[in-house]
Homo-oligomer: A and B are copies of this chain.
């Protein structure tokens, strides 16, 4: 029986097969995500992976349903696996924001689900670091969040030669659109043309732009100039003060597809351009108000970073550590009469915090030792009798004999 297409099995390393993923690598990524969030004072939250369908369509419109794992539950409720975290976050914050000091700095590591068109290697679920900062309008908040994004990627060993944050602003494009005589009614249509500029034939973009009263030349001139707005200047200076200038550049080609962004937007890309975006985010100052039905009005911004592109990039740059989960000690049981005392030793060493393995059933000494080597243990331990333990350091080959009770102290 096979798993569903687009879903992943996570095996312990070493991996048995190319089309499965490693639970160890996943945990490594989650650990880094959590650690950098902690340093930045972001607190973890989570919500249900299943939400009312209405929560998702309120944010993204009915057209999102085509991409959802949605269904009717046994209580006749229209529900869906979450395709993104932001609606859940907005719901949770709106419900209990008064309990938390502003600005609210939260992160989550949800698994997200989308019914994508089936393509080789195209996944229907992924994990995503979601970090959000709420309750602060000042662009210094944008800088704090972008610094978190940069330092999270740096925690994996990626540096300024590996990736860059392309920083942009819907406000800048809004200004451009208004100054060029654009009709506010068509503003979002205009944003969508800009969003697709890089992957659309030139004449097609030209045609669409001209319908709104613009030329491609105008647009390109604006992008090439890349003159930061005052808001972007503030962010750039803030990041420069932290020593992060080399990780960010203004790039107005980035505008993000989603309708709900309201100001600064950004995406993280590998410099070589081999992968899809590593992360993306921006301001969504109206969403909490929308989700809460007007009850809570709170500016916010956030980003999402998926585990799939990140892992591909780390593999390509040879930045993934080895995950052989070495054990600390192997307790050899060569004399079965000593098994009960050996079990006591196993238990004491584990209680002292060591990872300990032993032959669960009787086995030949050479087979036991081979297993100890496979497990890459630092030490073997073997009882001489029911009172004394022989501990061997497999690297230095030094051996000491100690009383049973004090064995843990000799492993340091």
Binding site for B on A (CB under 8 A): 1-5, 7-12, 14-17, 20, 23-24, 26-27, 38-41, 43-52, 54-55, 58, 69, 71-75, 77, 79, 81, 91-92, 95-96, 98-101, 103, 106, 111, 113, 115, 118, 125, 136, 138, 140-141, 144, 147, 151, 237-238, 241-244, 291-293, 325, 327, 339-341, 343-344, 346-347, 350-351, 353-357, 360-361, 371, 374-375
Known A-B contacts A41-B327, A347-B244; the reply to A49 vs B49 at CB < 8 A is yes
Contact A361 B140 (CB under 8 A): yes
CB distance from A104 to the nearest CB of B (A): 9
- Residues of B with C-beta under 8 A to A341: 241
- Residues of B with C-beta under 8 A to A140: 360-361
* A11–B107 CA distance with the chains assembled, in angstroms: 11
4 additional A-B pairs beyond A40-B350, A140-B360, beta carbons within 8 Å, are A4-B51, A9-B45, A50-B81, A243-B344
Contact A99 B355 (CB under 8 A): no
- CB within 8 A of A47: which of B10, B54, B351? B10
- CB within 8 A of A45: which of B10, B111, B243? B10
Q: Smallest CB-CB separation from A39: which chain B residue?
A: B350
Contact A242 B343 (CB under 8 A): yes
Contact B47 A151 (CB under 8 A): no
Contact A26 B11 (CB under 8 A): no
- Residues of B with C-beta under 8 A to A343: 238, 241-242
- Residues of B with C-beta under 8 A to A58: 1
Q: Smallest CB-CB separation from A20: which chain B residue?
A: B96
Contact B47 A3 (CB under 8 A): yes
Contact B360 A136 (CB under 8 A): yes
- CB within 8 A of A24: which of B44, B238, B346, B353? B44
